[in-house]
A and B are shown apart, each in its own frame.
Chain A
């Protein structure tokens, strides 16, 4: 798609109406760092915000304020320390994957989060889980200790994966650094049938490269490490296909997850 075509999508994207291939292409374009399109999206977000700002104010139910203040009292204050912030984010990410919550990130929101990446949707179930099992979470963080390290690198980006076809309920996320490789988390993915395995692909310059095989656990989740590619153009697309056990050198089976 030409840049002008892409830029014309910024409006549709800003009102949340972009879908399908156009959405995938536009988000990939934003993720590639197009400052002009990002500025356009931001500009439209400000316009839409201005409508709300100009609107009549309404006082929300007082219980909401009281609940929030109680919740605040019950929590330790957040640390200003960036490392802590990263770690907290890593925890949230790990939890999101473990809980296999609905984690479709809105790009604009993510960019507002200063490049931290797609933030987990804070579902009620997830909150409960977070409260209930903090100890378990720390354990999970230790398991994914690499992610915190990876996230400290400003070159690291986070890419969402969406389930396709029979696995449309699956979700995933790649924490990716072109220089050092990355980590893939998937959730809600059914176990591969006997004799089959899931295979990860990094697609750069239109060419898919095998990035290892993995299987999901009983809860349908998996964490998979992908080594840095040996040179070549930056990875544009991440995908997972269902392949014969042991994996294959080029994708042959159905695609179950892909980045957008």
Chain B
């Protein structure tokens, strides 16, 4: 059984323009906070968001449910486009990650979709509950776009330590995500 999101992508793949607006309305409030968290500037975030959804429309035919959820499909792309944007506007050394983005706080929260709201409690805040040194490296990498070498330099830690922290952190997140009811 395809998820409602996957069905919308299938309709877009078939050229059904009517599927785009519901697709956007369903996923944009999910993608936008991630993009905003990475690029930080609301104008840049809107550009990236547009880019990501336009690509989704164009590449809907290439989406394969066997290869992942619509959320992962979209968010993986969004994260990478957002990092590209950050790298194009800032020199690497200037990239930094704020734990709570003021730009994010200034936006309107969207209502939760009822069917999705149940699992949130456990997973939300999972990153914040990681040991600080594990959270730090994952944030620097995933939201800050730093590579393992750059993180090691910044934190003045051996590369092996950085790799171990990323691995432990992500493993723990994985357990939290998979343990949810």
Asked if A85 and B72 sit within 8 Å, CB to CB, the answer is no
Query: A135 contacts the other chain (Cβ, under 8 Å)?
Result: no
A56:B33 contact, CB within 8 angstroms: yes
**In terms of DSSP, what is the predominant structure of the interface of chain A?**
helix
Task: Judge if A20 is at the interface, Cβ distance under 8 Å.
Answer: yes
**Do the beta carbons of B84 and A102 come within 8 Å of each other?**
yes
CB-contact partner of B170 in A11, A61, A113, under 8 A = A11
Rounded to whole angstroms, the CA-CA distance of A93 and B169 in the bound complex is 37
Q: Say whether A45 contacts B72, CB under 8 Å.
A: yes
Q: Which residues of A contact B51 (CB under 8 A)?
A: 122
Interface size class of B (residues with CB under 8 A): 35 or more
In the complex, residue of chain B having the shortest beta-carbon distance to the beta carbon of A22:
B148
Q: What residue of chain B has the Cβ atom nearest to residue A116's Cβ?
A: B62
B166 within 8 A of A: yes
Binds B, one of A103-111, A140-148, A167-175, A177-185: A103-111
Give 9 closest A-B pairs by Cβ, nearest first: A54-B123, A57-B110, A57-B29, A19-B147, A17-B141, A77-B15, A113-B62, A49-B72, A60-B32
Residues in B with CB closer than 8 Å to A131 are none
User: Can you list 18 pairs linking A and B with CB atoms under 8 Å apart?
Assistant: A22-B148, A45-B76, A48-B76, A48-B170, A54-B120, A56-B33, A57-B110, A57-B111, A59-B32, A64-B49, A67-B50, A80-B13, A85-B61, A102-B88, A106-B80, A109-B80, A122-B54, A124-B47
Docked-complex contact B46 and A58, CB < 8 angstroms: no
* Range class of the A interface residue count: 35 or more
A57 and B68 alpha carbons, distance in the complex (Å):
21
Contacts of B162 in A (CB 8 A): 17
Alpha-carbon distance A82/B108, docked complex (angstroms): 40
With known contacts A15-B166, A112-B76, A20–B149 Cβ distance under 8 A: yes
